[in-house]
Amino acid sequence: MSDDAPHDDSPHDDSPHDDSPHILSTRAADSDDDANDTPANTGEFHAFWADEVADIIEAREPDEPIVIKGGVSPSGVAPLGNVNEVMRGYFVAEVLRERGYEVRQVFTSDDKDPLRKLPRKLANADGEIVGLGDVDAGALGRNLGKPYTAIPDPFGERESYAAHFAALLQADADRLGVPVEMISNTELYAEGAFDDAIRTVLSDLDGVRETLSAYQDKVDDTYVPFNPICAECGKVTETVTAVDVEAGTVEYACTDMTVGGDVIDGCGREGTATFREGKLPWRLEWPAQWGILGVDFEPFGKDHAEGSWPSGVDIARNVFGAEPPVPMVYEWFTLDGAALSSSAGNVVTVPELLQLLEPVVVRYFFALHPKKARDLDIDRLDQLVDRFDRFERAAAGEVDDEELTAFAERAYPFVAGEEPRAERVRLPYTFAAVLGMVDDPALREQLARDEGHIEADTP
């Protein structure tokens, strides 16, 4: 592919962004668009989107360490989609570190949530996808309704299902060279980190109900936004019958939980639970985490932009009396033209992808502008590698494309972890795949020279 051909590697996207709570600049350098109508925009054009986010964070004069957060609820497989938050947060963290700030990048596991249904697939410790028939599926089926941290690891390797899933995410981040600190919600509750947030919520039930009623159904004058864990059966229950804020306890009844068209039976026990023996519903838990962890920035998918984020902002300000962090909405990417879906089986894991690509190419994919939807076509990974090679050449000043060169020169050190080296030889993906079938190293080199990929003076 010639350098004059069109490419899908532009760092910018010209579509409007008024669906986002945080408008990233997508102006080309000569654009007349005025994005200064948002207070988040500093007015300065940046070739790399992470610089613009860093400007916004910096303008708030945050305390150090600056905290960048992502989060996930455990599932059967740790798909590549989870890497979106890890990598987007990482690039912003690295820009801030370059500016001299201490940065803490954390990733919370919402592992006190109940297991509501059986996953169709799981991933083993190596990230390989397996079916339920290959593991102790009964460990999951017998524990529906219980927190993930109370469910045995179906692989029998970790202390819980939650720990197994968190280890998958940590391993993926390590494979991509991202220093992420995994944080367990269960541990935060156990050590009392949520105590004040729970007390705040339960001390003003009328005000919290009024705030929540704008975002969810079934908020009446009996609704108590706290989910105790039954001392008898260990399941999460949604029925609180009395609250004693001073004692730090609630009275509860272990009732049935409806999940879609299915019902998870409660045991009927009535009992008392402390604030540490339960959890906040997710709509309150997310903004509570911001205050507990001191979060300054959190990227999230567009599915959270219209409902979850507005309610989080409202709750942060009007329930907890705090400002929300700087947000950034990213577009989803599709896999082979279809939406990523663990339940539908359309999923790829980081270990699977790294069997086909170098980590630096995966990092490059996530360095592209987050507001542009992209497709990861497994059958045409050669095109992605070719775009990365062009990006690398642009970083070395070898491509006649002013906008791409500006983006590459700024982003490449964060993608590759080093400055571009002009002497580096990168073979086209398809040709390298052919060479991989040749056992003789001397013959491989000769074929590369014959095709002009290695010159006489190449070191």
372-405 tens-digit pLDDT: 888 888 888 888 998 999 999 899 888 889 999 9
Residue position matching structure tokens 């060279």: 177
**Lowest-pLDDT choice from 110-114, 156-160, 243-247, 375-379:** 375-379
Question: Counting beta carbons within 10 angstroms of the beta carbon of residue 360, is it exposed (0 to 12), middle (13 to 18) or buried (19 or more)?
Answer: middle
What's the CA gap between 143 and 159, in Å, rounded?
A: 15
Per the rule left: phi > 0, alpha: psi between -120 and 50, beta: everything else, 44 is beta
Label residue 424 by pLDDT band (50, 70, 90). Answer: low
Residue 382: CB partners within 8 Å, gap ≥ 6? 428, 429, 430, 433
pLDDT tens profile 103-124: 999 999 999 999 998 888 888 8
Q: Which amino acid, one-letter code, is at 429?
A: Y
Residues 6+ apart with CB under 8 A from 375: 333, 334, 335, 336, 337
According to the model, what pLDDT value does residue 20 have? 27
Quick one: pLDDT at residue 301?
85
Taking 50 as the threshold, does the pLDDT of residue 346 lie above it? Answer: yes
- Answer whether the bond into residue 65 is a cis peptide, omega within 30°: yes
Sign (positive or negative) of CA dihedral 280, 283, 288, 289: positive
Number of H helices, E strands in the chain: 15, 17
Q: Is pLDDT above 70 for 349?
A: yes
**Residue 322 · residue 331 · CB < 8 Å:** no
Nearest alpha carbon to residue 254 among 239, 272, 275:
239
Answer whether residue 55 shows pLDDT above 60: yes
Residue 421: pLDDT band (50, 70, 90) is: low
Question: Parallel, antiparallel, or unpaired for β 278-279 and 227-228?
Answer: antiparallel
Q: pLDDT value at position 303?
A: 78
Tell me the mean pLDDT in the region 312-317: 96
Each domain of the chain, given as residue ranges in start order, spans 49-193+284-353, 226-279, 425-459
**Helix H or strand E segment including 84:** helix 83-98
**Rounded CA Rg of the chain:** 25
Question: What is the residue-wise DSSP string for 382-450?
Answer: HHHHHHHHHHHHHHTT-SS-HHHHHHHHHHHHHHHSS---TT-----HHHHHHHTT---HHHHHHHHHH
Q: What is the DSSP string of 303-339?
A: GGTTTHHHHHHHHHHHTS--PPPEEEEE--EEETTEE
Residue 252: enclosing H or E segment and its boundaries? strand 249-253
Query: What's residue 457's pLDDT?
Result: 60
- Looking at residues 301-323, what average pLDDT do you find? 91
**What phi and psi, each to the nearest 5 degrees, are found at residue 183?**
-125, 130
Mean residue pLDDT across the chain: 84
CATH 3.30.70.20 matches 49-193+284-353:
no
pLDDT at 441: 76
Summarize pLDDT for 120-136 with one digit per residue, the tens.
888 888 888 888 888 88
Q: Which of 38-47, 195-204, 324-333 has the highest mean pLDDT?
A: 195-204
Cβ burial of 440 (10 Å; 0-12, 13-18, 19+) is: exposed
pLDDT over threshold 60, residue 229: yes
Q: How confident is the model at residue 37 (pLDDT cuts 50, 70, 90)?
A: very low
Taking the C-alpha atoms of residue 201 and residue 209, their distance in angstroms, rounded to an integer, is 9
3-state helix, strand, coil in the chain (%, to 5): 35, 15, 45
Across-strand partners of 327? Answer: 298
CB 334 within 8 A of CB 376: yes
More confident residue, 15 or 442: 442
pLDDT surpasses 90 at 246: yes
